[in-house]
């Protein structure tokens, strides 16, 4: 019965509760009129059926001439509210009253949201803005907005859907790291590593050091200008210092393998935080996932918002220069490029022995019950 009622609402009009009551009364009056041949009973039943016919005809007609448009949805971070804005325009010459609008959000984002509109005047636009709290990162897409009404008589109820595509991007949380030895010490190694000709790589100075400023807690020690620091009696740090030689740091998320859900969410947060920290330190940094290599703050955050554990790999093999490898698979630690670092989430206690056997480079073992930000700021071993 419910399926039939839904079909009537979306294709024609379905009787509301008051409509069903009037249908029953009309049939009773009509039956009584046949039995008694009383004219006034025929009149009452005839008027009742006429009201039902008007209600069934006018309710769908009330939705004609309405169009819905959606404003673009700006990206937000987990825990923030997304702003959703719909514009319902009445193109008819008559006002539309007693309208219900429902934005059918995907179930993973939240329940459908409804709004009642009393009147939309002719050739006018009603703007509906509402806010929805986000609890999980992701790229959410939906397409349908439903308009419903029972006006003008309230005897019949009808719904019509309009295709209004929407995309909401919820970025992962980014931790405000003040320092990160995992990244900082990679920079120190890069400045000491020799190039293919055998000459040690030097930190670039000409045209790149714009100014010197006082040292702040969290600044990497490789950027300290020791000669100037000795002259002033306090530590001075280079700004916009980079390492020559074309070396890049790759934050590599092992998204092609299976993960425990909580561990993978922590790994995504760590990848976003490490990338933005390295970016603030003026390093050349990119993100690698099973889908490929990306760079740029906005693109990286969108990629991390959409990534999932166990996704099909379309990327080439890992780059053969230093990476920061984020994984739950301890066996993968033995095949990292020279100079790499790793962050390991252990799926179970049995993997600890495997991890000890495959630590060719320094890294961090994450304890899920401890604060992730403090762990990322610990010295590596």
Shared-domain flag, residues 235 and 89:
no
Beta strand spans in the chain (E): 14-15, 66-70, 76-77, 81-90, 96-103, 113-120, 125-133, 138-149, 156-171, 212-214, 236-238, 249-253, 285-289, 292-294, 323-327, 341-345, 363-366
Query: CA dist 151 to 15, 52, 59, 154, 224, Å?
Result: 12, 12, 6, 5, 74
Q: What is the pLDDT of residue 228?
A: 82
Considering 12, 36, 61, which residue would you say is the last residue of a domain?
A: 61
Sign, CA dihedral 94-98-103-107, equals negative
Are 40 and 111 found together in one domain? no
pLDDT at 284: 86
Most confident of 42-56, 207-221, 309-323: 42-56
Q: Residue 257 corresponds to which tokens in the numbers above?
A: 């393998």
Domain that holds residue 80: 66-171
Whether 267 and 363 map to the same domain: the answer is yes
| Phi and psi, residue 376, nearest 5° | -70, -20
The enclosing H or E element of 158 equals strand 156-171
Model confidence, pTM: 0.76
Residue 133 to residue 122: CA distance in whole angstroms: 34
Q: Percent of the chain, pLDDT > 70?
A: 87
Same domain for 304 and 191? Answer: yes
pLDDT value at 123 more than 70: yes
Domain annotation covers residue 49: yes
Residue 233: the pLDDT is 84
Same domain, 297 and 332: yes
Is 263 within the bounds of a domain? yes
> Residue 381's pLDDT band (boundaries 50, 70, 90)?
low
**Shared domain check, 337 and 365:** yes
User: Quick check: is 381 in a domain?
Assistant: no
Residue 97 lies inside a defined structural domain of this protein: yes
> What is the spatial distance between Cα 56 and Cα 156, in angstroms, rounded to a whole number?
6
In a domain, 53, yes or no: yes
Judge if 274 and 372 occupy the same domain: yes
Whether residues 319 and 213 share a domain: the answer is no
> Which pLDDT belongs to residue 73?
95
Residue 90 covered by a domain: yes
Which CATH number goes with the domain that contains 358? 3.40.50
Domain membership flag for residue 176 = no
Across the range 129-153, mean pLDDT stands at 93
Please indicate whether residue 189 or residue 102 has the higher confidence score (pLDDT).
Answer: 102
Q: Which of 76-85, 203-212, 216-225, 310-319 ranks highest by mean pLDDT?
A: 76-85
Residue 112 maps to which CATH number? Answer: 2.60.40.10
Least confident of 186-190, 236-240, 333-337: 186-190
Say if residue 167 is in the same domain as residue 196.
Answer: no
369 and 320 within one domain: yes
pLDDT reading at 332 higher than 90? no
For residue 37, the model assigns a pLDDT of 85
Q: What is the CA radius of gyration of the chain?
A: 32
Q: Convert the pLDDT of each residue in 349-378 to its tens digit.
A: 555 555 554 556 788 899 888 899 999 988
Which pLDDT tens digit goes with each residue over 189-242? 444 444 443 333 444 433 345 567 788 776 777 778 888 888 888 888 776 444
pLDDT at 161 exceeding the cut of 60: yes
Question: Could you tell me if 87 and 164 lie in one domain?
Answer: yes
Our count of domains for the chain comes to 4
pLDDT of residue 322: 83
- Inform me whether the pLDDT recorded for 171 exceeds 90: yes
């Amino acid at each position: 019965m419910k399926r039939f009622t839904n079909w009537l609402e979306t294709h024609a009009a379905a009787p509301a509760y008051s409509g069903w009551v009037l249908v029953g009364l009309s049939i009773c009056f009509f039956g009584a009129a046949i039995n008694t041949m009383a004219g006034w009973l025929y009149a009452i039943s005839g008027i009742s059926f006429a009201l039902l016919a008007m209600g069934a005809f006018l309710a769908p007609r009330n939705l004609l001439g309405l169009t819905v448009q959606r404003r673009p949805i700006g990206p937000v971070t987990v825990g923030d509210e997304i702003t959703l804005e719909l514009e319902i325009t009445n193109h008819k010459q008559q006002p539309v009253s007693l309208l219900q609008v429902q934005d059918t959000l995907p179930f993973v984002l939240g329940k459908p949201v409804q709004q009642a509109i009393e009147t939309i005047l002719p050739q006018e636009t009603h703007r509906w803005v509402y806010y929805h709290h986000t609890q999980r990162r992701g790229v959410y897409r939906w397409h349908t907005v439903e308009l419903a009404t029972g006006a003008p008589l309230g005897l019949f109820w009808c719904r019509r859907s309009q295709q209004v595509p929407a995309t909401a991007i919820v970025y992962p949380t980014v931790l405000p790291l003040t320092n990160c030895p995992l990244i900082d010490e990679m920079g120190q190694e890069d400045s000491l590593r020799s190039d293919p000709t055998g000459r040690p790589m030097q930190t670039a100075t000409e045209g790149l050091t714009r100014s010197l400023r006082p040292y702040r807690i969290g600044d990497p020690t490789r950027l300290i200008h020791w000669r100037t620091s000795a002259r002033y009696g306090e530590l001075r740090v280079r700004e916009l210092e980079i390492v020559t030689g074309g070396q890049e740091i790759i934050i590599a998320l092992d998204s092609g393998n299976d993960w425990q859900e909580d561990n993978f969410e922590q790994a995504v947060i760590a990848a976003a935080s490490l990338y933005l920290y390295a970016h603030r330190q003026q390093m050349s940094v990119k993100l690698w996932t099973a889908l490929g290599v990306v760079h740029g703050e906005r693109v990286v955050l969108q990629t991390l918002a959409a990534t999932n554990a166990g996704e099909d790999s379309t990327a080439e093999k890992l780059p053969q220069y230093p990476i920061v490898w984020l994984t739950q698979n301890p066996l993968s630690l033995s095949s990292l490029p020279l100079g790499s670092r790793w962050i390991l989430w252990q799926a179970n206690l049995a993997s600890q022995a495997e991890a000890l056997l495959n630590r060719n480079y320094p890294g961090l073992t994450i304890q899920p019950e401890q604060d992730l930000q403090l762990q990322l700021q610990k010295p590596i071993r």
